[in-house]
Amino acid sequence: MRTRQAYRFALDLTPRQERVVLAHAGAARVAHNWALARVKAVMDQRVVERTYGIPDEHLTPTIGWSLPALRRAWNAVKADVAPWWAECSKEAFNTGLDALARALTNWSDSSTGKRAGRRVGFPRFKSRRRSTPSVRFTTGAIRVEPDRKHVVLPRLGRLKLHESARKLARRLEAGTARIVSAAVRRDGGRWFVAFCVEVDRAERAPAQPQATVGVDVGVTNLAVLSTGEMVPNPRHLDGAARRMRRLARRASRRVGPDRRTGQRPSKRWERANARLGRAHARVAHRRRHGLHKLTTRLAREYATIVVEDLNVAGMLRNRRLARRIADAGFAELRRQLAYKTGWNGGRLVVADRWYPSSKTCSGCGAVKTKLTLSERTYNCTVCGLTLDRDLNAARNLAAFAAEVTTAGSGPVAGRGADHKTRQGRPVAVKRQPGIALASKTGTVPPQGGTSNHMLTKAS
């Protein structure tokens, strides 16, 4: 199986190398801002001309938004706009133009309804102090040195890695990987290089080819499996909150930037702000590391994994749980499961967000009309089952996999529960080995209203 994946390594740059990388990131920002100003000027001019009644055929000609068109326009004026252009690699300017081309395309598709999801705004100019420095290389000398502790990038030369690149080097030496591009980026005060690699992955099978597991994510426990295992929530943000508050107070006492008066930040503010940024980056890295360990174990162990399509944006509106939900990383967990199940020969089934996994009894299939967030134990009034709320939901998710005949990572409607849950009469269903029992329920036609599933799943 041929796929693309990224290998990310921390860099140990010398002061001179850091200045060179920053110069390339600045070149990308200059090209981006110039092209955006040119596109915006033409668009504004056409709007003004229409107010004067000028017909469309006589308006100022439009300019292309594609990367080749922007690159041709930049090459024609770069000697005047950036006389120092020869000091940086052409890939630096291409990085900024490519980012603008993608942003304009996303904005256009979102405005015309071609792009699903949240509305995308018009691109903004990149600031020297607020934007994240980054540059991407797609051509030239891009390789990992034989000592596996250095990498070579165009115009940047030989850069030292903070860690060994043996995982990538082994694949390159075996001929099962090919580097497509390399991106250098500053994150949390450190520089990283990320290689986009085409990899020939061997066909793999899960350790339990017939096993199915339901995963119910929450705040008290990060994940509750239908097998009974409960993965505790590490709460990295809570652990670092005291230190981050102290660093934030220290930065607030320094002289920071003021856009209204044009005041420049002091060196002490920059150092304090850098420490605060490193603290936030450490929390993000620890969270990502824990999610990778969990998702890798699940993808290698089980053939079918069932999760829910949670409305995380809606759950974040709950001001009492927003910080805990954001710290858990529900979306990242699902994203990692989506591609890791494919790598390991499994499948990911995503139940629709209206599927009443928490309100359905995993023993008899009866569905409760309401289930408050404070009820941590599920008590069935029909069969008398008493079970942990999250474990009951995980078992219902595992049983839901038996009802799905097609694999995929897209949301699958569950039992037609697309509106407010109504009390249903349980119908017997045959047990299947290795899968928790959950019966189908009859549902009453929807009577309007919204489901409280958004809040009941924030557990």
The residues annotated with a catalytic role in the active site are 216, 308, 390
The answer to whether 60 and 108 have CB atoms below 8 angstroms apart is no
The answer to whether 44 and 51 have CB atoms below 8 angstroms apart is no
Residues 436-454: b if buried by 16+ CB within 10 A, e if exposed: bbbbbbebeeeeeeebbbb
Distance, CA of 433 to CA of 431 (rounded, Å): 7
Distance, CA of 113 to CA of 107 (rounded, Å): 10
Measured in degrees and rounded to the nearest 5, phi and psi for residue 185 equal: -150, 145
- What does each C-alpha distance from 218 to 310, 327, 373, 393 come to in angstroms? 11, 11, 12, 11
Sheet hosting strand 221-225, strand order edge to edge: 230-232, 221-225, 208-217, 302-308, 347-351, 411-412
Task: Give the angle subtended at the CA of 132 by the CAs of 280 and 83, to the nearest 5°.
Answer: 160
Question: Residues 6 or more apart from 146 whose CB is under 8 A from it?
Answer: none
**Strand 157-161 versus strand 150-153 pairing type:** antiparallel
How many other C-beta atoms lie within 10 A of the C-beta of residue 344? 20
- What does each C-alpha distance from 310 to 247, 316, 405 come to in angstroms? 34, 11, 22
- What does each C-alpha distance from 283 to 238, 249, 289, 295 come to in angstroms? 10, 18, 10, 18
How many other C-beta atoms lie within 10 A of the C-beta of residue 96? 27
Hey, what are 306's tokens?
């069932």
- What does each C-alpha distance from 355 to 310, 362, 379, 432, 457 come to in angstroms? 10, 13, 19, 21, 11
Cross-strand pairs, 378 = 387
Distance, CA of 270 to CA of 251 (rounded, Å): 8
**What stretch of H or E contains 183?**
strand 177-187
Q: Is 431 exposed, middle or buried (0-12, 13-18, 19+ CB in 10 A)?
A: exposed
